[in-house]
Amino acid sequence: MARWLVIGIVAVAHTAHAEPPLREIVQLSVGQGHVCGVTAGGAVVCWGDNAAGQAGISVRGKAMPTSVTRPHVVGGLPEIRTVAAGAQHTCAISVDEHVWCWGSAGSDLKVTPGGASGSVELRGPGLGTPVELPLGDAVPRALAVGGRTACVATTTDVRCWSTFGTIPLGATKITAPTFAITKLAGVTKVALGHGKVCAITESVLQCWSGGRPPSPSKVAATAISIGENWACTRDEAGQARCWFSLIDDFWKRKPDKPITWSGKRATRVIVAGDSPICTADSTGAVDCFLSDEQGLPDQAAEASWASKKLEPHRIAGVADAIDVGIGHGRDVFGYGFGCALRGDRTVACWGDNEHGQLGRGTTTRDKTAAPVIAPAGSGVYEAR
């Protein structure tokens, strides 16, 4: 009798070990295409778009990386208390009450032909090097960084400046930029967009534009966010309201559009971006929607992590958010990205990922929030 020996092939599955998450983040700021956070030890970690050095990488003698797909520790900084990320610029307030900034361009821009407005070539390794912003005896309390403007609220005033031309390439120190100074004491929060500035002093919302004096609102506010289409506030009771941010007399208006839907709980955080608005409620759940009243083409709406019009869309993968930020970049499919600081001091991000702004070591977009991974090795790219 012939005997057959049948050998079975056993496939052994090798489960890849998940990268450890980024931990001990105590404060988070989301810029246009990059993200920065402050650790419990006072270090700053950034990831995402670094085309202008805004993620804080500066490498001597080598091409500066334009995208950073996982967090790294920004070198050359003292112990930091808070960080603010913008479009091509990042600033931070140190524990010893000084302001440090990096990114943007400065005077060493080379404009080359390319389209109606030309293209900008950023040169030199010094873009990502943090330098101290001269404030004299002023004591900084709050920061806001936008597309081409940044503001610092001190104990006596709010000082705003252009982020272009502020930090020359390779600079070790900078001269004081031209500040637009608004006398306003006791500011605890500041936000800016479309040339308009809003500040909160003792729960009073005050906004202004250009050289006009601040105009107090009758609406109490504990938080303010200004996006492309809408500006939004939150009060002590967790009520969130928005108003159109493009109108000329923006600073005279008060929030008149409540953000609510069936089953909605009190709002812990509200943030406005280019088109999306996102909230985190009192339980830590994150909901986002597209603020464009005209909605989106079906293809874009289906691919987006934010729902069409003003209907909320629950972000999967995060249920314990204590803070939320959303990027200001848009494309036809994803309409930006977002990140949440979670209760366990980790960070989870979702949405577009062209520059690695989800912090996972990839450039693959994802509508579901997932943890940002820890820096590789020491994670330190020395700013030299």
pLDDT value at position 211?
78
Domains annotated for the chain, with CATH where assigned, are 21-108+121-183 (2.130.10.30)
Contact of 125 with 60, CB cutoff 8 Å: yes
**pLDDT tens digits, 162-198:** 886 555 555 556 667 789 999 999 999 999 988 889 9
Question: pLDDT band at residue 64, thresholds of 50, 70 and 90?
Answer: low
First to last CA, the chain: 79
350-369 pLDDT, tens digit each: 998 989 999 999 999 899 99
**Which pLDDT does position 4 carry in this prediction?**
36
Q: What does the pLDDT read at residue 168?
A: 54
For 19-39, how does the pLDDT look when each residue is reduced to its tens digit (9 = 90+)? 899 999 999 999 999 999 999
Q: Is the Cβ–Cβ distance between 230 and 247 less than 8 Å?
A: no
> Does residue 275 come out as left (phi exceeding 0), alpha (psi in the -120 to 50 range) or beta?
alpha
SS3 per residue for the chain = CCCCCCCCCCCCCCCCCCCCECCCEEEEEECCCEEEEEECCCCEEEEEECCCCCCCCCCCCCCCCCEEEEEEEECCCCCEEEEEECCCEEEEEECCCCEEEEECCCCCEEEECCCCCCEEEECCHHHHCCEEECCCCCCEEEEEECCCEEEEEECCEEEEEECCCCCCCCCCCCCCCCCEEEECCCEEEEEEECCEEEEEECCEEEEEECCCCCEEEEEECCEEEECCCEEEEECCCCCEEEEECCCCCHHHCCCCEECCCCCCCCEEEEEECCCEEEEEECCCCEEEEECCCCCCCHHHHHHCCCECCCCCEECCCCCCEEEEEECCCCCCCCCCEEEEEECCCCEEEEECCCCCCCCCCCCCCEEEEEECECCCCCCEECCC
Burial category of 140 from C-beta neighbours within 10 Å (exposed 0-12, middle 13-18, buried 19 and up)? buried
- Higher pLDDT among residues 125 and 310, named by residue: 310
The larger pLDDT score, comparing residue 62 to residue 46, is at: 46
Q: Give the whole-angstrom CA distance, residue 157 versus residue 186.
A: 8
Neighbouring-strand partners of residue 49: 67
Mean pLDDT of 204-214: 87
Distances (CA, A) of 183 to 19, 62, 187, 211, 216: 48, 44, 10, 11, 13
Distances (CA, A) of 272 to 168, 191, 286, 292: 31, 11, 13, 12
> Which of the given ranges, 14-18, 103-107, 278-282, has the highest pLDDT on average?
278-282
Q: Is residue 351 within 8 Å of 33, Cβ to Cβ?
A: no
pTM of the model: 0.87
Q: Are strands 44-49 and 67-74 parallel, antiparallel or unpaired?
A: antiparallel
CA distances from 22 to 177, 318, 339 (A): 35, 15, 13
Whole-number percent of the chain with pLDDT over 90: 47
Would you say 154 and 141 are in contact if contact means Cβ atoms under 8 Å apart? yes
Mind listing the pLDDT tens digit for each residue in 211-250?
A: 788 988 877 899 999 988 888 999 999 999 988 887 767 6
